[in-house]
Structure 1
């Protein structure tokens, strides 16, 4: 390894952790205190707590502005109306709340901003709401659009109604995609006219699409399905916003006989590896990405805890951090930063009450 690479490995990177402080129907034990600001040592994988923002209670999902001056948080109130909060990020990673607005939806579960950090999108699971806001760098506007989806699927327990789980903006900032677990659809909106649903993509029945990630260099998207832990690979048409299914992969090992409970999906910064987590199998499943954008199964590893609600790869591609919701821990796993594949090493577990979302800053 060169001296330059050694120096790179010695750096640190800041990240934030959202957690639950209140118990609810899908959070049976809540030990969080708010949003944690932490530092990851890129050489050792050790995690250090910097500060705590107690105003970020029940921060179920986090996002950041492109200029990394602001942190956006979706606040979950279960069967009550949730909210969105914006925090300014200090030089030491400390957070100061700037503005908040109601989510207008129940079981608010996801937040994402557009590519300019000027629009914010909240997804609420229980009543399948998409709520949009403007952000001017200091305050969030009142909701500019509130859209409710309708539909159902064959899983009578989980798909009795539409359930919006994620809204994500396309790399070119032209289209908005909403994963609807309840109706087995991905709704596609025109960002210039958000209330215009230009089409919907039908996911195979009973899959329950949860989250989507982009492979921008290859014009591909990957959708992870919660109800059976399948990964769907799509060709993405930048001009029309349409997506065409090219691959359907069962992520869990064939010998696993337990219940599937897919949660998070992430892609390595170099776009050579894709990872998904499963809360039944309590694992991370790893696939390499070929030149065509299709996937090749590589391995899986235990997350050394329970309920990997979320995980994230640091911006250098060196560590994968898993948020183990039900064992109050974050566990770092080392990656090969060239291939993105795990090398079989992990660092010390970091105690953290009910972690459910991780958001890195650029080192």
Structure 2
């Protein structure tokens, strides 16, 4: 049959439509870009404006943070932690940092598809003023430091993602944990400020701001029970006020930020490999480095957060009072050298965090009601910005999830 030009033009659209399913298997649709990572923000509800945990989206390509919206109403969620993903589900834990012995830790179900938080349960924090919560990488155990109560507690994470009642508690008023430091206003007693799980999940390191000491416990991975290591304590300079630590990627160096004298200490981490009686201890290299600029009044500043880049080349610290972020390079032997000092873009930078690409840092400025976003050069470690300032009342903690 002869097909005329007119007949071909008439039949071609129908033919083309009928062959859509015969396209080459190599012709694929472009994949959708990944959803912007979610950021959860714990806030200070005691000031009467914020209501709890807020949620925003962050675009790691542009460095833009969306306007935070309330995700869950809860009392003073000053520190947050996530459980590992289990069967498509995660739990988000928040300490409710009220200065009362009835303080709690709240568990939320986190819907990984929508980001919605649903309150699941509350348990006692086993002390007043819980300031820190950490979770081991297996998602079997959690640990809490109670700043005002002077206690720490351990928990089992149950199959439904909620916390058990406390498994172990330790009261730091016991003399074996040392004696309070020489700053009466801040060191009137023990003040455990953080509980940090070692990279191998075998040990818990406690920073006690009130007693100027770090203590180490062995973790039972099945029960979350804690056993004091031997030696138990690493004593620090009187009046230093240890707050938080960060492990170097090599697993041997630990960097401690001291709140009261605004310093960083480099410590060496050593463990034994015994399965039944493993021990660990910290040795201070006695090479403190100031976080504040020379000449800035030490009594006008409290150092806050410390973090290390994943390549191990740079350390970042924040100063409340000087209101700065400081970048240090980490030399071959672990010594620190200041690279940059930059304004935090607000007031009282209590906490900051890297985004998942490590190209950006989000800094929560507690007393200027804002989060500032800084671009990070991975080659030099330096920060540029702030590239954006987002209003949110009294941010205490930021967590990517």
Normalised to the residue count of structure 1, the TM-score between the two structures is 0.90
Deviation of 1:294 (Å): 2.2
Partner of 1:45: 63
Larger displacement relative to structure 2 (263-272 or 328-337): 263-272
Tell me how far 1:83 sits from its aligned partner: 0.9
User: Could you tell me which residue of structure 1 aligns to residue 264 of structure 2?
Assistant: 231
Aligned twin of 2:18 = none
Distance in 2, Cα, partners of 1:346 & 1:137? 42
Indicate the residue corresponding to 1:241 in structure 2: 280
SS of corresponding position for 2:250: helix
* 1:89 paired residue among 95, 110, 115: 110
Residues 349-360 of structure 1: matches in 2 within 5 Å? 349-360=389-400
Q: What is the match of residue 198 of structure 2?
A: 170
Of structures 1 and 2, the one scoring higher in RCO (CA 8 A, sep 6+) is: 1
1:128 is the counterpart of 2:143: no
1:57, CA displacement in angstroms?
A: 2.7
Cα shift readout 1:148-177 (whole Å, capped 9, x = no counterpart): 113201112211211110001111111111
Q: Deviations over 1:227-264 (max 9, x none)?
A: 01100111111324111122311111102125221111
> Residues 30 and 50 (structure 1 numbering): CA distance in 2 closer, same or farther, change over 3 Å?
closer
Q: Could you tell me how far apart the structure 2 residues matched to 1:30 and 1:334 are?
A: 32
Mean CA deviation greater in 142-151 or 181-190: 142-151
> Compared with structure 1, are the counterparts of its residues 351 and 228 closer, same or farther at alpha carbon in structure 2 (3 Å cutoff)?
same
Separation (CA, whole Å) in 1 of partners of 2:44 and 2:251: 36
Q: Within 2, Cα distance between the matches of 1:75 and 1:306?
A: 23
- Picking from 201, 226, 234, the partner of 2:234 is 201
Match of 2:216 in 1: 188
Q: What secondary structure, in the 3-state scheme, does the structure 1 residue paired with 2:66 have?
A: strand
1:90-131 alpha-carbon deviations (Å, 9 max, x no partner) = 212221122220112111111111121111111111121101
Matched, 1:71 2:103: no
CA distance in 1 between partners of 2:302 and 2:68 (Å): 32
Aligned with 1:115: secondary structure? coil
Contiguous gaps of at least 5 residues in structure 1 = 1-6, 23-28
Single out whichever of 240-249 and 309-318 deviates more from structure 2.
240-249
**RMSD of aligned residue pairs (Cα, Å):** 2.0
Give the Cα separation in 2 of the matches to 1:54 and 1:12: 20
Equivalent residues in 2 for 1:1-363 (5 A)? 12-22=36-46, 29-49=47-67, 51-67=69-85, 69-90=90-111, 91-138=113-160, 139-150=162-173, 151-192=179-220, 193-198=225-230, 199-239=232-272, 240-246=279-285, 247-257=287-297, 259-342=300-383, 344-361=384-401
Q: Distance in 2 between matches of 1:120 and 1:218?
A: 21
1:66–1:133 distance in 2 versus 1, CA, 3 Å:
same
> Once the 2 structures are TM-superposed, how far is the Cα of residue 268 of structure 1 from its aligned partner?
1.7
Instruction: Please tell me whether the aligned partners of residues 51 and 94 of structure 1 are also in contact (alpha carbons under 8 angstroms).
Output: no
User: What CA deviation, in whole Å up to 9, does each residue of 1:17-72 have, x standing for no partner?
Assistant: 000112xxxxxx34212111111111222111465233333101011123382211
SS of the residue aligned with 1:81? coil
In structure 2, the gaps of 5 or more residues are 1-30, 174-178, 273-278
Residues in 1 aligned to 2:166 and 2:144: alpha-carbon distance in whole angstroms: 10
Contact kept? 2:36, 2:60, Cα under 8 Å: yes
Are the counterparts in 1 of residues 345 and 386 from structure 2 also a CA contact under 8 Å?
A: no
CA deviation profile, 1:260-312 (whole Å, cap 9, x unmatched): 21111112232221111111111111111223222111111111111111111
C-alpha distance in 2, partners of 1:347/1:41? 13
Structure 1 residue 336 displacement after superposition: 0.8
- The alpha-carbon distance between structure 1 residues 93 and 11, as it changes in their structure 2 partners (threshold 3 A), is closer
Q: Distance in 2 between matches of 1:11 and 1:341?
A: 27
Structure having the larger proportion of residues in strand:
1
Aligned residues: 347
